[in-house]
Amino acid sequence: MPSNKSVSEAPITQFINCRILKDHKLQREDLWVREGKILDPEKLFFDEEGFADIRVDCNNSIIAPGFIDVQINGGYGIDFSQATDDVSGGVALVAKKILEHGVTSFCPTLVTSPPHIYHKVLPEIKVHDGGKEGAGVLGVHLEGPFISLEKKGAHPEQYLRSFQTGGTQDLLETYGRLDSVSILTLAPELPSSQSVIRELTQRGIAVSLGHSVASLSQAEEAVQQGATFITHLFNAMLPFHHRDPGIVGLLTSDQVPPNRTVYYGMIADGIHTNPAALRIAHRAHPAGLVLVTDAITAMGLPPGRHTLGQQVIEIEGLHAYVAGTKTLSGSIATMDMCVRHFRQASGCTVEAALEAASLHPAQLLGISNRKGTLDYGTDADFVLLDDALNVKSTYIAGQQVWKK
């Protein structure tokens, strides 16, 4: 008999009495974890004759992959687009707080800002795994400043830019560096944007189309060059028109290269998108829907005035407006709220609602081999929920990091 001494001595945890989201279905089986990864129990029994050191009774909870928020501007008084004295401390505070919403990793998002802000903030946001101290950082989402003046939304006009030199030079002048960037939102109708999209895609950065007046053919061209995402569908883009559906038309376009999925963000807070529009998008292209909070500083804060980048924002109920206007500027919704609202508004399955906050963002970022599923060998980042999809506890690398 071969010796099993090479087998890990690390403790094995078995989560019992649960339904786990696997292969797009809630399945009644146990979840096995060792050294921060999800284990294949069959291999464990047959190859190692192993057994559980710790058993956790989940009381019939749902276990889903941890939520991934690819568009969050801040929260709890922290604004990622402010060059404070302690940028990393601000990111860490938000990372800690969003554990209670089931978020195990996220992309801190910077809205349109002057170059000196990017040059100060970007070097201080490090990509890292999550843990007890907070959700992991998957890279920065840069939203702007290469966007359309007509669809600037809450982005300050004086800092918008176009591509002058045809690409890379503009990016480096504006941002200073791109090594910690995972997503970049731009308007594909800007001159030279196609070569920029190619360049960014080659660097492994996901290009998102947004804050744009692009026609469908301009959007299709951008996708052919490598763009894979749409920033908050319906918001800050031309409304759907039957003769030229614009960016929205990508959901059913026949010009998307084969084997490619176009993903699209939805702010399912009940305010940014009418439930009927949410249903239209979901029914047209369910595999591409990515729930995002687009949360701002004021998430988790009382009503009143707060900042978003260089703007002042006013909170009224669940609405966040640019002060003195009725322009929406991000949301104060949490990810678990978005999951519940999306499920209720779309009538989709529990599985679809959970995958829109976990599997799809992981696929968009190209990390579904380690995040966004409960497949064997992936990171044991997951969330326990009740049947109404309220978060009961959050785990990162198999360790409980938050409990209700």
Q: Confirm whether residue 241 is marked as ligand binding.
A: no
pLDDT tens digits for range 32-48: 999 999 999 988 888 87
Number of domains in the chain: 2
Q: Confirm whether residue 368 is marked as ligand binding.
A: no
Residues 116/174, Cβ–Cβ less than 8 Å: no
Q: Which two tokens stand for residue 143?
A: 């939203």
The answer to whether residues 81 and 224 belong to one domain is: yes
Q: What integer best gives the mean pLDDT of the chain?
A: 94
pLDDT tens digits for range 188-201: 999 999 999 999 99
- Surface-to-core class of residue 366, CB atoms within 10 Å of its CB (0-12 exposed, 13-18 middle, 19+ buried): exposed
The answer to whether residues 47 and 142 belong to one domain is: no
Residues 334/98, Cβ–Cβ less than 8 Å: yes
The answer to whether residues 188 and 332 belong to one domain is: yes
The answer to whether residues 246 and 266 belong to one domain is: yes
Average pLDDT over residues 4-19: 82
Is residue 2 predicted with pLDDT exceeding 50?
Answer: no
Percent of residues, the chain, with pLDDT higher than 70: 98
Average pLDDT over residues 392-402: 98
Q: Confirm whether residue 278 is marked as ligand binding.
A: no
Q: How many residues does the chain have?
A: 404
The answer to whether residues 388 and 294 belong to one domain is: no
CATH of the domain at 24: 2.30.40.10
Q: Confirm whether residue 211 is marked as ligand binding.
A: yes
The answer to whether residues 215 and 317 belong to one domain is: yes
Euclidean distance between CA atoms 332 and 72, whole angstroms? 10
Instruction: Report if residue 5 sits inside a domain.
Output: no
Q: Which two tokens stand for residue 302?
A: 């009382």
Q: What is the 3-state secondary structure (H, E, C) of 58-75?
A: EEEEEEEECEEEEEECEE
Provide the residue range defining the domain that includes 91: 67-365
Is residue 230 predicted with pLDDT exceeding 90?
Answer: yes
Residues 383/102, Cβ–Cβ less than 8 Å: yes
Euclidean distance between CA atoms 225 and 43, whole angstroms? 42
Instruction: Report if residue 78 sits inside a domain.
Output: yes
pLDDT band at 280 (very low <50, low <70, confident <90, very high): very high
Q: Confirm whether residue 341 is marked as ligand binding.
A: no
Q: Confirm whether residue 328 is marked as ligand binding.
A: yes
Instruction: Report if residue 371 sits inside a domain.
Output: no
Rg value, the chain, Cα? 21
pLDDT on residue 5 = 42
Q: Confirm whether residue 227 is marked as ligand binding.
A: no
Residues 6+ apart with CB under 8 A from 376: 38, 39, 40, 43
The angle at the Cα of 236, spanning 235 to 242, to the nearest 5 degrees, equals 75
The answer to whether residues 305 and 394 belong to one domain is: no
pLDDT band at 7 (very low <50, low <70, confident <90, very high): low
Average pLDDT over residues 272-301: 93
The answer to whether residues 154 and 87 belong to one domain is: yes
Instruction: Report if residue 290 sits inside a domain.
Output: yes
Among candidate residues 269, 294, 379, 381, the one labeled active-site is: 294
pLDDT tens digits for range 126-149: 999 999 999 999 999 999 999 999
> Comparing C-alpha atoms, which of 222, 118, 201 is closest to residue 161?
118
Instruction: Report if residue 81 sits inside a domain.
Output: yes
Tell me the sheet residues that pair with 32. Answer: 14
pLDDT on residue 366 = 97
Q: Confirm whether residue 130 is marked as ligand binding.
A: no
Instruction: Report if residue 1 sits inside a domain.
Output: no
Interstrand relation of 206-209 and 311-316 (parallel, antiparallel or unpaired): unpaired
Q: Confirm whether residue 143 is marked as ligand binding.
A: yes
pLDDT on residue 36 = 97
The answer to whether residues 203 and 292 belong to one domain is: yes
Euclidean distance between CA atoms 106 and 358, whole angstroms? 11
Average pLDDT over residues 198-214: 97
Is residue 3 predicted with pLDDT exceeding 50?
Answer: no
The answer to whether residues 25 and 174 belong to one domain is: no
Q: Which two tokens stand for residue 157?
A: 């006009």
Q: Confirm whether residue 64 is marked as ligand binding.
A: no
Instruction: Report if residue 149 sits inside a domain.
Output: yes
Q: Confirm whether residue 274 is marked as ligand binding.
A: no
pLDDT on residue 38 = 97
The answer to whether residues 283 and 310 belong to one domain is: yes
CB count in 10 Å sphere of residue 27: 12
CATH of the domain at 234: 3.20.20.140
Peptide bond into 145 cis (omega under 30): yes
Average pLDDT over residues 234-259: 95
The answer to whether residues 79 and 102 belong to one domain is: yes
Strands in 218-328 per DSSP E:
229-230, 263-266, 289-291, 304-308, 311-316, 319-322
pLDDT on residue 43 = 87
- Is 47 an annotated catalytic residue? no
Instruction: Report if residue 127 sits inside a domain.
Output: yes
